[in-house]
Amino acid sequence: MGIDESFRGLRLLDQLAFGETAVHRLDPRAKVLVTLIYVVTVISFGKYDLSALIPFFIFPAVMISVGKLPAGFVTRKILLLSPFVLMVGIFNPIFDRETLVRIGPIGISGGWISCTSIVVRTMLTLGAALILVGVTGLPAICSALEKMGMPRVLAVQILFLYRYLFVLAEESGRVSKAREMRSFGRRGLGMQTFSSLVGHLLLRTWQRAERVHMAMLARGFNGEFHTRKEFDFGLRDLLFLFGWTALFISLRFWNLSQFLGDLLTGIFS
Amino acid sequence: MHMADALLSPAVGGTMWAVSAGMIAYSSAKIRTGLDEKKVPLMGVLGAFLFAAQMINFTIPATGSSGHLGGGLLLAILLGPHAAFLTIASVLIVQAMFFADGGLLALGCNIFNMGFVTAYLVYPLVYRKILGRDPNQGRMALAIMVSAIVGLQLGPFGVVLETHFSGISELPFKTFLLLMQPIHLPIGIVEGLVTLAVVSFVYKARPEILQAALDAHPIGLHPVRNVLLSFLAAAIVTGGIVSWYASENPDGLEWAIARVTGKDDLQEPGKGVYSMMAAIQQSTAFLPDYSFRKTASGERPEIIKQNPASGKVGTSISGILGALITLVIVFVTGFVLRRRPAT
Amino acid sequence: MSHHIIDVKNLKHTYADGTAALRDVSFRITHGESVAIIGANGAGKSTLLMHLNGYLAPTSGEIRIGDFPLTKSTLPEIRRTVGMVFQDPDDQLFMPTVHDDVAFGPFNLGLPGEEVEQRVNEALEQVGAAHLADKPPYHLSGGEKKRVAIATVLSMTPDILVMDEPTSGLDPYARRRLISLLRDFRHTKIFTSHDLDMVMDLCERSIVLHEGKVRADGPTMEIFRDEILLAECRLEKPLSMQGCPVCGRGRCRS
């Protein structure tokens, strides 16, 4: 992925958090908790569970719709599956050849099912993380986590990182564009150029940190950070939290796909 | 190399979360007490720098493929262990949320594999030890190379262990190990070379930066021993819980529910929602799975792996059909909600 | 109102690497003055500014702000008195939202929440940026960033405003807007700038630094008329004082 491309994705995701929908207005703690419960529930299925995972697509579908997130963008992001996961997943069909399911003459091995299950899990869990950011925004997630016990130092650290991510991504975009323009073919993309380029970037970053520190001191910084964000956990947030949790747990123990399938095959047989 | 949610079991993911959360608390406390406030913006901006630097690729000599800086070791060299650990953690958190690297549950593993290993194992025990009390350029070069290689062997080793204990992947432990470790040897060498080059560049331009990093953290035995002890404790707890889990119950959520309700057998046989659901699950399971079935003695539910051969053709077809219908319902729900006027 | 006075005597500063950035700088700026510090790159302008709020300590010499000599113990008071606006607003705006950034200073002064809110609103109102309060800094345009950066300082109700290159990187419209905003401030003002037209607009007095020393200190118009002085210090007349390239007629005001 090129710099510009990944940076655009970052910016878009950041913008989404400024939406004005019912989900955006919820207490970030409720959204963080629901997302975590969702991820743990999805992960908790056995490796051969596939059909039972499918109803869990309801969560991203509802959140994307109500939160007015661009479905195409989220889908594309999720479908860029990590090559590492694919690499590991693809071994399942090789090592697990025992036929588990038979549809007419075709036998499907356990390996293929668990491999597909891994792919579905990837989509569900990564989708949940992206959606959480899209309807909440990193600063709000950060203060939610802080209220839930994350050390202040880390919260401040994440906020600083996030703030300067935009500045530095632009800066590194400029230097690498300048490099590419003058490196014909592949020459000039080697490690020597790279290290001096990154070294320069590092030194400039260091100087920037010094200037930021200066600006903080100039306004009386004494080690404390204050932010205005106060949330109150209201009835809506409670309903959101318990509603989804109840659904996740029910879907965990009751295979909706199987039920619907049985219903349908029952009707036709 | 990011560990991913999809390969994790809740037991392993949860344990690694707990371990990493503990390490974050530890390093935060260290930073609050012993750090000049100048590091606050420095850590933040360097975290952002790492992102920016990772976006720039270079050509790996002799192969023609391209790589990018990992940067954990570089941060440890510039910032010292505690600040570096928190900075790496923050980078991983933002990566998990914005770039779909790994996922939220896998964060615990990733913070451990990359942050803890680099900042609290490799940096004090390899880098500083080789550097010694009287650092010179040659020693520094050696220290960086060895540290990068060791770090990029330990990190993937963590991934292998976590994947293995989770049991989602079918890859045999040894095969996985033999795949991962050799692949990461050249990656470690390249990381070492790049880190060395960048550090040398900084050393030439602004030697005081590196000097300050060296002076600020006189490596007394004390902090290292503490860290090692907590690591050992964490390892024992992790190992204990994970192996117990793996042998007793591969399914963490059910275990957790049993714990919450405080009973081993959740309901009397034959009545209550639970047994009803268990019955539904048993009679309808699309795929042979772990399911609860009362043992004859009735003392506790035993987890029995159903015989794969018992999967009936009819059931599997209905399972696939059901999944398709569910997907359609999900899609339509999303579509309908989207069409609704703004709330 | 002696708060507003800046007195610099025989200031010298040598960096750790041996560079003598300031060799001998003395001047006195009194209440309500608007002063430009001009000079070529490397003349020592930035080093001088960094002394005015105590980020750098003099190698020798003395600085007095208001009634206080600049020492470690008077530093908090001096940093409240001297509001420093940095050249790159990205360095100054580090909090998640504009509001939090403007509130950063007042909070550090230990003010209660309501008072902080009031000051934030006033400061943002003053620079015409009230509508930006909830935005993150990276969503702002260059001109907006600059105005918000000024608000972060105004919220601390400083007596003296120090600004490093206020108009750099702004488009003509944003520059014009900023200049008229700055003209309305009643504070004692100190600018460094290469934008000599802005200097002519805003500052009745200029101090010319050259190789770490004060080369000239006087009314801006006089300095800009002294072509020999300007050439020596690697400066040029403001464009508005140069002859029209088409008709050759000057447009000099005096």
Instruction: Render pLDDT for C92-134 as a digit per residue (tens, 0 to 9).
Output: 898 888 999 999 999 888 888 889 999 999 999 989 899 999 8
Contacts of C21 (CB under 8 A, 6+ apart): C13, C14, C15, C44, C47, C212
Answer yes or no: do C79 and A217 touch at CB < 8 A: yes
Total domains, chain B: 1
- On the question of pLDDT at B275 being above 70, the answer is no
* pLDDT tens-place string over residues C179-201: 998 988 888 999 998 899 999 98
Alpha-carbon distance of C67 to B98, in angstroms, equals 52
pLDDT band at C35 (very low <50, low <70, confident <90, very high): very high
Question: pLDDT digits over A119-154, tens only?
Answer: 888 889 989 999 999 999 898 898 889 888 888 889
* Residue of chain A whose alpha carbon sits nearest to that of C111: A226
More confident residue, C250 or C172: C172
> Which run of H or of E encompasses C219?
strand C213-219
Beta-strand pair C68-69/B301-305: unpaired
> If pLDDT is split at 50, 70 and 90, which confidence band does C253 have?
very low
| Half-sphere exposure (Cβ direction) of A146: Cα atoms closer than 13 Å | 22
* A209 and A251 co-located in one domain: no
Give the model's pLDDT for residue A133: 92
**How sure is the predictor about B314, in pLDDT bands with cuts at 50, 70 and 90?**
very low
Which residue range forms the structural domain that includes residue A63?
Answer: 1-137+231-261
Tell me: pLDDT of C237 over 50: yes
- Give the pLDDT of residue B256: 34
Count of A–C CB contacts within 8 Å? Answer: 78
Contact present, B124 and B81 (Cβ < 8 Å): yes
Which partners does chain A have (≥3 C-beta pairs < 8 Å)? Answer: B, C
In this prediction, residue B245 carries a pLDDT of: 44
Give me the number of domains chain A comprises. 2
Q: Looking at residue B229, which CATH number applies to its domain?
A: 1.10.1760.20
| Beta carbons within 8 Å of C246's beta carbon, 6+ residues apart | none
Rounded Cα distance between B62 and A228, Å, is: 54
The pLDDT-based confidence of C34 (bands split at 50, 70, 90) is: very high
Asked whether residue A187 is domain-assigned, the answer is yes
Which of B131 and B216 is assigned the larger pLDDT? B131
Rounded distance, CA C181 to CA C185, Å? 7
Mean pLDDT (whole number) for A158-162: 90
Q: What is the mean pLDDT of residues B260-274?
A: 39
> Which residues form the domain of B176?
5-339
More confident residue, B268 or A66: A66
DSSP 8-state assignment for residue B151: H
Asked whether the beta carbons of residue C16 and residue B208 sit closer than 8 angstroms, the reply is yes
Helix B313-339 vs helix A58-66: crossing angle, to nearest 10:
10
**pLDDT classification of A188: cutoffs 50, 70, 90:** low
The answer as to whether A143 is a domain residue is no
Say if residue B163's pLDDT is above 70: yes
* A16 and A96 both lie in a single domain: yes
**C94 in contact with B, Cβ within 8 Å:** yes
Which residue shows structure tokens 């963590």?
A: B158
The answer to whether C137 and C148 have CB atoms below 8 angstroms apart is yes
Residue A107 CA to its chain's centroid (Å): 35
Do A161 and A37 have their domain in common?
no
User: At residue B213, does pLDDT exceed 90?
Assistant: no
Mean pLDDT value across residues B19-38: 81
- Structure confidence at residue B109 as a pLDDT band (50, 70, 90): very high
* pLDDT given for residue B232 in this prediction: 56
| Number of cross-chain residue pairs from A and B with Cβ atoms under 8 Å apart | 407
Minimum Cα–Cα distance from A207: chain C residue: C91
CA distance A195 to C175: 38
Chain B residue with minimum CA distance to C16:
B208
Spell out which residues of chain A touch residue B109, defining contact as CB-CB under 8 Å. Answer: none
Categorize the per-residue pLDDT at B76 as very low, low, confident or very high, splitting at 50, 70 and 90. very high
Q: Looking at the domain assignment, is residue A142 inside a domain? A: no
Q: For residue C93, what is the nearest residue in chain B, using CA coordinates?
A: B41
DSSP line for A134-186:
HHH-HHHHHHHHHHTT--HHHHHHHHHHHHHHHHHHHHHHHHHHHHHHHS-TT
- Shortest Cα–Cα distance, B306 to chain A (Å): 11
Would you say residue A79 has pLDDT above 60?
A: yes
Q: Are residues A26 and A130 in the same domain?
A: yes
- Of B98, B187, B273, B329, which to mutate for an interface test with A (greatest number of A Cβ within 10 Å)? B98
On the question of pLDDT at B27 being above 80, the answer is yes
Least confident of B64-68, C82-86, C204-208: B64-68
List all residues 6 or more positions away from A42 whose beta carbon is below 8 Å from its beta carbon: A53, A56, A121, A124, A125, A128, B5
Q: Which residues of B touch C16 (CB under 8 A)?
A: 208
**H or E stretch at B66:** strand B66-67
Q: CA angle A125-A128-A129, nearest 5°? A: 90
The verdict on A171 touching B (C-beta cutoff 8 Å) is: yes
Cβ of B289 and A13 within 8 Å? no
With contact defined as beta carbons under 8 Å apart, do C58 and C23 qualify? no
What's the mean pLDDT in C39-68?
A: 88
pLDDT reported for residue B231: 55
pLDDT at B85: 94
Closest to A16 measured CA to CA, from A76, A63, A82, A79: A63
pLDDT of residue B204: 84
Q: Are residues A1 and A104 in the same domain?
A: yes
Residue C3 has a pLDDT of 62
Q: What does the angle CA A38 – CA A43 – CA A45 come to, to the nearest 5 degrees?
A: 110
| Nearby residues of B41 by Cβ (< 8 Å), 6 or more positions away | A160, A209, A212, A213, A216, C94
A50 and A121 belong to one structural domain: yes
Which domains are seen in chain C, by residue range?
6-241 (3.40.50.300)
User: A109 versus B273: which is more confidently predicted?
Assistant: A109
Asked if C246 has any chain B CB less than 8 Å from its own CB, the reply is no
Over residues C154-164, mean pLDDT: 91
Beta bridge partners of B290: B305
Q: Which of A130-134, A257-261, B329-333 has the least mean pLDDT?
A: B329-333
CB–CB of B61/B197 below 8 Å?
Answer: no
Cα nearest neighbour of C92 on chain B: B41
pLDDT band (50, 70, 90) for residue B312 = very low
